[in-house]
Structures are given as structure tokens and as C-alpha cells.
Amino acid sequence: STGIQHPGLIYTSDMSSDDLPLISLSSSSSFINIRGVGLVTLAYFVLWYAFLIRQSVVKFQLTKRLKAQDKKFNRYSLADPHPRMLNADRTVGNTMEQGIPFLVCLWMHALLVSPRSATYAGAAYIAFRALYPFVWGRPPWLFLSTIPGYILIWYLGGSVAWKLLW
């Protein structure tokens, strides 16, 4: 059978158009280019791991400092709260809470609506998310990180819903 060739892929004539891939990492392809969305996803995970590492560093620093004072570290103590620890915990927690909606909406938008607008919205989301540890505990400054992030998630998901329903 005759084959259709694409860099790295071979298709046979007995394949229907439904069997052909819709996505590509190549910008010179007529397929949907998802490279930008892939980079946004990578940036999200780099930021998330940076937040996780920061959380661990803060915990170890506080534990060491309090041990030198013959005190026991309890990150959940309401009587002796540790603002840096709470900041690090909430940064990780909020990032995880919003991570699933963000990533699902990002990829559905890229595949069903537009990879370009998903890339731009995703990059903006990462930038606003990176502000979170600097503005946490400082309302109204906190809203400079959270509200734009929520709006971007709703934009990505809402446009997918619109595309699927209408």
C-alpha cells in the first residue's frame, strides 16, 4: 500500500483521515502546533517545583532556628504561627488547588479552540501565579495574583465549553 509521509511518521493508504494526528511540535507543519502550550506546561511545573523546594527550605530553616532556641517546630501551631511557613504552605496549596483546572483547561483550549491563545493565556497565568508568594497575606495585593489567574482559567475553560456546546 502507498504511504503518506510526514517527518517521523508514516501513514498507509488504508488509514482514514480520522487516524491522522491533529497535533505536531513542528512550526512548519499544517498540523496544530502545540509547542507553545508544551512550553507553558513545562514552565508551570518548573514554577510548582520551585514553590515546593521553597516550602522545604523554609521548614528546614525554621526547624534549625527553633532547635537552636530549644524550641520544637510545629508548623500548624495557632499559638505560635510562623508567617514564612504559612506563606510557603499556602503558595504550594493554592498552586496545587488551581493546577488541575488550569492544566485541563489549557490543553482542552489548545486542542479545541486555539493553541496560540492557549499559549498566551497560559503564559500570563504563569506570570500571575509567580507573584503569589510575594503578595500572599497582603490584601488587596493578593488579588493581583489570584483574580487574573481565575479569570484566565475561566477564559480557557469557558471558550472550550462554548466550542463544545454551540
The per-residue pLDDT for range 20-38, each reduced to its tens digit, is: 445 555 555 555 688 999 9
pLDDT for 81 equals 80
Model confidence at 15: pLDDT above 70:
no
Question: Could you check whether the bond before residue 140 is cis, i.e. omega within 30 degrees of 0?
Answer: yes
pLDDT for 29 equals 53
Pairing state between β 3-6 and 9-12: antiparallel
Q: What is the mean pLDDT of residues 42-70?
A: 96
Model confidence at 149: pLDDT above 60:
yes
Q: How far apart are CA 39 and CA 30, in angstroms?
A: 20
Q: How far apart are CA 83 and CA 60, in angstroms?
A: 14
Q: How far apart are CA 166 and CA 164, in angstroms?
A: 6
pLDDT for 75 equals 84
Q: 10 or 113, which is more confident? A: 113
Pairing state between β 32-33 and 23-24: parallel
- pLDDT 10s digits, 88-122: 999 999 999 999 999 999 999 999 999 999 999 99
Q: 141 or 81, which is more confident? A: 141
CB 22 within 8 A of CB 31: yes
Residues in the chain: 166
Model confidence at 137: pLDDT above 60:
yes
Q: What is the mean pLDDT of residues 80-84?
A: 86
Which residue in this structure is represented by grid cell 493553541? 115
